[in-house]
Structure 1
Amino acid sequence: MYYNSGVDRKLIEILRILSEHNKPVGARLIAKKLEERGYKLDERTVRYHLRILDERGLTRNLGYDGRMITDKGLEEIKNALVTERIGFIITKIESLIFKMNFDVEKGRGKIVANLATIDKEHFKKAFQVMKKVILAGYAVSPYIKVFDEGETFENYVVPKGKVMVATMCSITLDGILHHAGIPVSPRFGGVIQVLNGKPIRFTDLISYSGSTLDPLEVFSAKGLSSVLNVVETGNGYILANFREIPMDALTKAKERLRKAEEIGIKGTIMIGEPNTPVLGVPVRIDKAGIALMGGINPLTAVSEAKIPIETRAIECLIDFEEMVNISRVGNFTKASF
């Protein structure tokens, strides 16, 4: 499908709205969401566009319940308007940083989370892999949340036969710095080489500003990490991120990150000095670099263990108070959470 007209742009935006929900959505809610995104369409016009999408096989009409996007519709989103999606990830990051309201002093509020969906039959093994990686320190935080099949939160519904796991995303640390008045610039997602348990250098980088996909998901999908090897032998490759802050904010940033560590958010790998490279990555003039642990390392390790898993990085906000320290969980049963 060729996208050029304003009509087709609206169709794609409707598909995006439907893709953000795991249950049927009606014309009224779609119209509201479209208005939030700068498209003013009444319900009647939305229904007209929905009929077009139905005819193209991109949506499924469930009657009074509303519409759901089809697999063909999801594929259409991936292929449509690629030039307009350049920089999509950095925009999403900035939005989540703004919406995050976590108070590091009180240990309360919403943090940014990654989500993963796992078959219930594989969850016991997957949980043990995640726990091993998290307790070894290759995660942003030991706090996780598990959702059982049928549970709902935000716009998500856990499918039958599945379990959904949330881990803390490193964007949470960006939010902590941002809300402390420290300008932070997420620059790259990357891969860090580890030798004898020590991070040596970034070996691969993808800029957030020029990407339509999350860089860490890309590296994970291409098999460029070896998180389990790092945990078991001290050697291999982990997923990480690179940020910059003004050099004048360095002292305050270190204090905020130390405060975060006190409550179990320990994703900092290295904080550089002003105008000094961090793990081989140069910084811009009068900036200091910060390397942060990738929040999907525990989830990537599950994939490395050949356990089927669907991971979505930088996905949503979750209340920190609802999360549980994985070190306090003796087994994988839902009752433990």
Structure 2
Amino acid sequence: MEPGNGTRISEFLLLGISEEPELQPLIFGLFLSMYLITVFGNLLIILAVSSDPHLHTPMYFFLSNLSFVDICFTSTTIPKMLVNIQTQSKGITYEGCITQMYFFTLFAELDVYLLTVMAYDRFVAICHPLHYTVIMHPRLCGMLVLVSWIMCVLISLLYSLMMLRLSFCTDLEIPHFFCELNQMIKLACSDTFLNNVVIYFITVLMGGGSLAGISYSYSKIVSSIRAMSSSQGKYKTFSTCASHLSVVSLFYCTILGVYLSSVVTHSSQSSAIASVMYTVVTPMLNPFIYSLRNKDIKRALIRIFGVVGTKGTIVLRLKKCL
């Protein structure tokens, strides 16, 4: 990659959330805690779904995939940020930056597609309950996840290849805690018109299509619930999709808030702070939303901890006997 001054780029500088030295220990502790909670919480969801036969249904299959993607999503950005704070370094290699950008966009897009697929699953379950097992058979569920992965891999690869065609000048400071696509494009010296056109086109086509699909699914769900005569039936039906609706609202509202704040404030640092909401906070809260509002997940988690506690008690008794 040849930049405008004729020297080869070796690394970018990630400025992070704040450059104040006294704030670095606080930021490190806060993000380390959120990262560990995110990984542990989502792993528990995956463990609960995989260990309980009652949860081997399409809804929980998609949920376990979402939890796996959320772990990967936060793992593309937070560990590097923590290492940079600990080593008091801001550098990230050019290759590392492109790789981080690729995986970040990959898992962000997968989040969007999986939420859309889960909305379709709830639509079929509520609006066509008698045909649910016929429509949402294991093969279709696997195909939906596979197609989502293939599309996201190809889109992220396109973004990365288009980034490789750009050249950069001497200003290599990224005012963010990870290699965010738009921030990298702003640093380029070469013409970025094609990159911006492709990004906006794919965002509107895929993101808008996903949001339209979720909105359509829930409009039909609301219509079906309103048509029910029993208030208890309405509540029970709505409760089956309340967790997913909460996650969708949190994810889309935080992303919308980030980009609206960046437009209003025109501050890169404010945008970086706002990005924490959908890159860290949302994946961290997802396991709590699903476990607190879902009796099946709570039952599975209680069973897991009960088994672990029983085994621990048996081991302690054996040690005492010896």
TM range (shorter): under 0.3
Query: Greater helix share, 1 or 2?
Result: 2
Of structures 1 and 2, the one with the larger relative CO (CA 8 A, separation 6+) is 2
Query: Greater strand share, 1 or 2?
Result: 1
